[in-house]
């Protein structure tokens, strides 16, 4: 049990996908302008990451690995995740209109996002069990949300500032992102002191 929590929290703080692994930078920079859209996007990411892991883990373990087709991982995962997200979108539109209205716009944006694919593949690099993989995916999703929500606050301040002309827009945003990322390096030792396991 402690192991699951360790994986969950280390994905949020120590191995944060956006700020430490630098995956999913496109939605991180693109959708973090407003707090509510950052939050909606993050909810969609958590949702898709967990579902994608739930589907790709059995696929890899029971179909690809026994046949020695490990190298097909990337192409098959992208295919499966794309189908899955499209299917979820149609399903939500039909049966859960309220959820569709809040998540619908963000779902196509993360169809084959690198952080979603990254979670699925890193689960095998770390040799997680099914349950561990699901916790890892949820943790990565919440880590994404933490980064997005925090950074939307940072961007609000950056927008009000008056940087030099050449820094306006994306450059100053990237500088701000790197400083936020630096602050996450400080969490490196935290998992060790809480769980007694080296991160």
Partner 1 sequence: MNTIVLAIIIVTIVGLLGAAILVAAAKFMAVYEDPRVGEITAVLAGANCGGCGYAGCADYAKAVVEGKAPCDKCAPGGAACSAAVASIMGVGASTGVPKRAMVACSGSNDKCKQKFDYQGIESCAAAAMVSGGPSACAFGCIGKGDCVAACKFDAIHVVNGVAVVDRQKCTGCSACTVVCPKHIIFMKPLEEKPVVECSNKEKGPIVMKECTAGCIGCMLCQKNCPEGAITVTDFVASIDYDKCTGCGICTEKCPKKVIYFVDGKPKTAPNEAAPAEEKAN
Q: Does 179 bind partner 1 (CB under 8 A)?
A: no
Instruction: Report the site for partner 1 in 35-74 (rule: CB under 8 A).
Output: 59, 63-64, 67-69, 72
Burial pattern 25-60, b for ≥16 Cβ within 10 A else e, equals: bebbbebbeeeebbbbbbbbbbbbbbbbbebbbeeb
Q: Does 21 bind partner 1 (CB under 8 A)?
A: no
**To the nearest whole angstrom, how small is the minimum distance from the Cβ of residue 159 to partner 1?**
10
Q: Does 94 bind partner 1 (CB under 8 A)?
A: yes
**To the nearest whole angstrom, how small is the minimum distance from the Cβ of residue 70 to partner 1?**
11
Q: Where are the alpha helices (DSSP H) in 110-169?
A: 114-125, 130-160
Nearer to partner 1, 79 or 182 (CB): 79
Tell me which of 87, 126, 170, 188 binds partner 1, using CB under 8 A: 87
Residue that is written with structure tokens 């149609």 in the block:
90
**To the nearest whole angstrom, how small is the minimum distance from the Cβ of residue 79 to partner 1?**
6
Q: Does 83 bind partner 1 (CB under 8 A)?
A: yes
Stretch that binds partner 1, among 79-87, 111-119, 178-186, 187-195 (CB under 8 A): 79-87
Half-sphere exposure for 133 (CA within 13 Å, toward CB): 26
Burial pattern 136-161, b for ≥16 Cβ within 10 A else e, equals: bbbbbbbbbbbbbebbbeebeebeee
Q: Does 125 bind partner 1 (CB under 8 A)?
A: no
Q: Does 86 bind partner 1 (CB under 8 A)?
A: yes
For CA atoms 182, 21, 16, 144, the dihedral sign is positive
Q: Does 5 bind partner 1 (CB under 8 A)?
A: no
Q: Please provide the distance, in angstroms rounded to a whole number, between the alpha carbons at the two ends of the chain.
A: 16
Half-sphere exposure for 141 (CA within 13 Å, toward CB): 24
**To the nearest whole angstrom, how small is the minimum distance from the Cβ of residue 157 to partner 1?**
11
Binding residues for partner 1, rule CB under 8 A, total 23
What residue ranges bind partner 1 (CB under 8 A)?
59, 63-64, 67-69, 72, 75-76, 79-80, 82-83, 86-87, 90-91, 93-95, 160-162
């Amino acid at each position: 049990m402690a192991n699951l929590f360790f994986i969950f929290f280390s994905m949020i703080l120590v191995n944060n996908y956006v700020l430490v692994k630098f995956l999913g930078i496109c939605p991180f920079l693109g959708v973090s302008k407003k707090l509510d859209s950052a939050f909606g996007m993050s909810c969609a990411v958590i949702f898709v990451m967990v579902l994608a892991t739930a589907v790709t883990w059995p696929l890899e373990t029971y179909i690809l690995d026994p046949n020695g087709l490990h190298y097909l991982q990337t192409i098959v995962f992208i295919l499966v995740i794309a189908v899955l997200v499209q299917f979820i979108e149609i399903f939500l539109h039909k049966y859960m209109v309220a959820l569709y209205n809040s998540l619908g716009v963000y779902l196509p944006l993360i169809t084959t996002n690198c952080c979603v694919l990254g979670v699925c593949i890193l689960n095998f690099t770390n040799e997680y069990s099914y349950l561990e993989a699901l916790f890892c995916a949820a943790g990565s999703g919440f880590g994404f949300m933490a980064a997005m929500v925090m950074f939307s606050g940072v961007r609000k301040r950056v927008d009000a500032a008056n940087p030099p002309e050449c820094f306006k827009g994306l450059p100053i945003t990237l500088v701000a992102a790197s400083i936020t990322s630096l602050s996450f390096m400080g969490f490196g030792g935290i998992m060790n002191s809480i769980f007694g396991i080296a991160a």
